[in-house]
């Protein structure tokens, strides 16, 4: 009888160890690291992409830029070198989706405030209205932290090209001037290589949560 219990005890231990190993394998299989996609023009709605690059399947990156922020400082790609950042397009007099987008961008700012890897960049689509002084008033009103978040204005042609050829983020006005654009609710996640890694609805709370999670995934990717 004692021999039976001893044998059973050995069996139970072996069975337990094997079960733990199997559970661990299954857990690791289900939680395999999944990198974020790298978005190319062919992966985005043609409404948002300049016709000259709509068939581009690889090597897409954010172009060099030179714009002016709410403090009158020139902001270029060098200010975002080796940074992950969230970009969007807005205008300060917008009364529809912009207030919601700005509130949500401010929420992201609060989450990344002490994270040196992550920044924010908001481009005005009405630079003729959004002067430096106007952006500064707006920044103060919305609680913008100058070290984390640049609101930028500049040459409308340059902003239009960035929107349509780099960020793949706004619609062409069509019936307006050559550089008229209709901004969307899109937030774009940009990696340290200036590649687009995600699109999010800047007015949607669940999408903002997803964006924050994707920032962590992207940060972790640099450790793999």
In the annotated binding site for Cu cation, the residues are 94, 98, 183
CA pair distance 114, 88, nearest whole angstrom: 21
User: Please, are residues 104 and 208 in contact by the beta-carbon 8 Å criterion?
Assistant: yes
> What is the rounded distance in angstroms from the CA atom of residue 22 to the CA atom of residue 134?
61
Q: Please, which residues bridge with residue 201 across strands? A: 186
Binding site listing: 94, 98, 183
Q: Cα(21)–Cα(25) distance, rounded to whole angstroms?
A: 6
Residue with tokens 């009364």: 95
147: left (phi over 0), alpha (psi -120 to 50) or beta: alpha
Contact 169, 188 (CB under 8 A): yes
């Amino acid at each position: 009888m004692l021999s039976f219990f001893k044998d059973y005890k050995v069996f139970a231990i072996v069975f337990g160890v094997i079960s733990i190993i199997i559970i661990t394998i299954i857990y690791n299989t289900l939680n395999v690291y999944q990198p974020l996609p790298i978005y190319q023009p062919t992966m985005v709605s043609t409404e948002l992409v300049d016709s000259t690059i709509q068939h581009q399947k690889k090597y897409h990156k954010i172009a060099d830029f030179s714009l002016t922020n709410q403090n009158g400082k020139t902001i270029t790609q060098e200010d975002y070198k080796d940074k992950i950042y969230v970009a969007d397009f807005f205008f300060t007099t917008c009364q529809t989706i912009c207030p919601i987008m700005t509130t949500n961008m401010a929420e992201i700012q609060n989450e990344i405030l002490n994270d040196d890897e992550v920044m924010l960049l908001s481009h005005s689509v009405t630079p003729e209205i959004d002067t430096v002084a106007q952006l500064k008033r707006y920044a103060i009103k919305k609680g913008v932290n100058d070290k984390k978040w640049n609101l930028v204005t500049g040459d409308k042609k340059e902003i239009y090209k960035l929107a349509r050829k780099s960020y793949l983020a706004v619609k062409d006005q069509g019936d307006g001037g050559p550089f008229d654009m209709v901004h969307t609710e899109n937030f774009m996640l940009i990696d340290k290589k200036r590649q687009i890694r995600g699109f999010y609805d800047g007015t949607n709370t669940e999408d903002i949560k997803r964006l924050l999670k994707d920032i962590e995934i992207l940060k972790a990717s640099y450790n793999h």
